[in-house]
């Protein structure tokens, strides 16, 4: 399995050049030319690396960086024409891992990416299914398939996104606003924070042994939710 790289950049020529170069280097590449679609793709595809332009037509790269950091530690490399020192510092403060100033060569981007990957210790993305509580709950992201006590269940796209996001980070508290942002990728979804509660309630009905005393999706009072399942250590598929 190759690492999945997401490029969010509004200049098609840069996307083309980087995509060609990264494909050759053995990476899978996804791209979007605006911030909202870029974020949607991020939430949906959970890439292993993000190359992020700062000046985009809709959202700023800084906003995107902040949104991603609320839910993920994925390495982010900023690509930007902003060369002023304070802009770089701002990008790094927002949680980016490194910064390349335009114009750059694709080779420079690749070398920086590899350095960041080494530094952050990102390995190949987990491709085996996630398994919790002695196989009570199994999430196979490759097939977008969820099994509860051995039986496949049907989740809506939003329920799946919420479950996968939280189960990928057991114990981490997710504020409703972050969860909302993760599902808002769906443009037809009109959200208030409380609508997250409705999805969580439906999700619990499908995966909890006792939805009134949830153990998998746990409420963190006054904050949001967290995943309370215990990851099985030596689970392998098959």
Which residues would be at the binding site for Ca ion (CB under 5 A)?
10, 53, 55
Instruction: Tell me how far, at minimum, the Cβ of 53 lies from Ca ion, in Å.
Output: 4
Instruction: Tell me how far, at minimum, the Cβ of 9 lies from Ca ion, in Å.
Output: 6
Kindly tell me which of 50 and 200 has the beta carbon lying closer to Ca ion. 50
Kindly tell me which of 99 and 225 has the beta carbon lying closer to Ca ion. 99
Tell me, what DSSP letter sits at residue 76?
E
Instruction: Tell me how far, at minimum, the Cβ of 66 lies from Ca ion, in Å.
Output: 18
Instruction: Tell me how far, at minimum, the Cβ of 58 lies from Ca ion, in Å.
Output: 11
Dist. CA 183–CA 195, nearest whole Å: 11
- Nearest one of 148, 146, 154, 162 to 197, comparing CA atoms: 162
Kindly tell me which of 55 and 117 has the beta carbon lying closer to Ca ion. 55
Q: In what order do the strands lie in the sheet with 98-101?
A: 28-32, 4-8, 49-53, 76-80, 98-101
The sign of the torsion formed by the CA atoms of 62, 67, 70, 73 equals: negative
- Cis preceding-peptide flag for 103 (omega within 30 of 0): yes
Kindly tell me which of 10 and 28 has the beta carbon lying closer to Ca ion. 10
């Amino acid at each position: 399995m190759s690492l999945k790289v997401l490029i969010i950049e509004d200049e098609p020529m840069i996307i083309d050049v980087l995509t060609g170069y990264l494909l050759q280097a053995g990476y899978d590449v996804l791209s979007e030319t605006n911030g909202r679609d870029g974020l949607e793709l991020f939430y949906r595809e959970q890439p292993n690396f993000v190359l992020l332009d700062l000046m985009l037509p809709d959202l700023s790269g800084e906003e995107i960086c902040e949104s991603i950091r609320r839910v993920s530690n994925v390495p982010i490399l900023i690509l930007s024409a902003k060369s002023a020192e304070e802009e770089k510092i701002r990008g790094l403060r927002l949680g980016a891992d490194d910064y390349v100033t335009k114009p750059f060569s694709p080779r420079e981007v690749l070398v920086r990416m590899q350095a960041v990957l080494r530094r952050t210790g990102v390995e190949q993305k987990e491709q085996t299914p996630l398994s919790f509580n002695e196989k009570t709950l199994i999430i196979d992201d490759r097939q977008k398939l969820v099994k509860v006590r051995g039986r496949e269940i049907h989740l809506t796209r939003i329920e799946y996104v919420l479950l996968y996001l939280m189960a990928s980070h057991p114990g981490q508290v997710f504020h409703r606003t972050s969860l909302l942002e993760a599902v808002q990728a769906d443009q037809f979804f009109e959200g208030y924070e409380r609508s997250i509660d409705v999805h969580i309630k439906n999700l619990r009905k499908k995966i909890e042994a006792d939805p009134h005393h949830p153990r998998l999706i746990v409420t963190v009072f006054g904050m949001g939710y967290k995943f309370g399942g215990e990851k099985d250590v030596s689970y392998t598929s098959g």
